[in-house]
Chains A and B, each alone.
Chain A
Amino acid sequence: DATPSQPSTVVSLRTREEARQLWQQHESSTRTLSASLCEHLRLILAPTQATKMRGDFRTGKRLNMRRILPYIASDYKKDKIWLRRAKPSKRQYHVILAVDDSKSMAEGSCSDLALETVALVAKALSSLEVGSIAVVSFGESIDVVHPFDKPFTSDSGVEAFQRFSFSQTKTDVRWMVEKSLTLFETARNNAVGSQAELWQLEIVISDGVCEDHDTVRRLVRKAMEQRVMLVFVIVDSVRKDSILKLESVKFGADGQIKMERYLDTFPFGYYLVVKDVRELPTVLAGALRQWFAESVDAGGV
């Protein structure tokens, strides 16, 4: 009997059956919310509005003023003087759902809430069918629980649930952002079609307590330069005491004690504090809408 090849080093924390039951439970408890989030996102992400007026047509919506003089000069022959709304182009999305798998997520209450959030967001994104979705877990290490190149199905949900333990002993947000940027880069290189129509978005689900804010802030800036949008969802209800009130003690160089609100140095520009999973669809949609508005203003479209 030959030595069997070692199974994958990935540790399953739940049996497949346990994970399946959990996934089904959370998928069904969040069904309505997920449908609602999906509808919100559909309105935001789908390119329903054509962005620019383009010419030159014989009929249209608005006159192209630059064509008026030649029109008259040509004795009304050059009559392609109208602008029309350009056809909306097909956008492509890459979305990473990054879920904090550290122990603090299960400290206050139950990890059920985190799993519920995963089911809600993953389901909404996958039924949206606008692009590829990846799921990563982070803590001390970062694991791709679901890769970009596979469609996200109920089985993916079950597999993902097998991999979350909420027992990792660190919350390395910096490494998570770095790794995510690499994943996005690879996905971008593999993508077909126009890079300009490729939108990359990461939704982080966490209790929000992480270290090394300065380094993380630099990475968040790098993400912006690479046109990767980061939305940090703080699931505050996993904590007994709200993160809004959390204070941080620093010792200055002179040995003086300085107290600051923890969130005042929080490195993510777009963060949401969610008390209840039921708030998530509206709140997340609001943040994404704002991001899109700003991207359009900045000429990102």
Chain B
Amino acid sequence: MDTTPSTSQVQVKFVTHEAEIAVNPAPILVPSNLKRFGLSQVVNHLLSPTSPIPFDFVIDGSFLRTSLDSYIADNGLTSESIITLEYVRAAVPPKYLSSF
């Protein structure tokens, strides 16, 4: 088959402990090849803050460091399930800290 595969999608729920940056927790479909940066863009799109906030994502207690695809494959999940992503403001990178 010579058809170009369209991007796979997966349903995610964005949740956070910080009420002031909370978005609607209903599931939405996102491309499953997204990593932290893409997901952060999506949450920023939903929040539309005055200036972009970089976010980190926690699934099942650990930070997402791969694409959703890889996470799903590595953890025996499937794209049939809704994935709950907890987001937190990304920690300030250490290089800035050292300049103080």
Contacts and interface: CB of A to CB of B under 8 A. Distances in A.
B41 A103 contact: no
Contacts of B82: 107
Nearest to B26: A241
- Range of interface residues on chain A? 20 to 34
B22 interface: no
A80 interface: no
A257 B45 contact: yes
A104 B82 CA distance: 8
B39 to A, nearest CB: 10
A257 B46 CA distance: 10
B80 A107 contact: yes
Interface residues of B, number: 21
Interface in A98-125: 102-104, 107
B52 interface: no
B99 to A, nearest CB: 30
A271 interface: no
Contacts of B29: 209, 246-249, 262
Contact of A241 (B8, B27, B45, B80): B27
Given A249-B42, A257-B42, A104 B26 contact: no
A92 interface: no
Given A170-B80, A259-B45, A209 B11 contact: yes
B9 interface: yes
Interface in A234-275: 241, 245-251, 257, 259, 262
A249 B28 contact: yes
Nearest to A262: B29
Contact of A249 (B6, B31, B81): B31
Contacts of B9: 211, 248
Contacts of A102: 80
Interface string B70-82: 0000000011111
9 nearest interchain CB pairs? A103-B80, A169-B78, A248-B29, A104-B80, A257-B45, A249-B30, A241-B26, A247-B28, A212-B6
Interface of B: 3, 5-6, 8-9, 11, 26-31, 38, 41-42, 45, 78-82
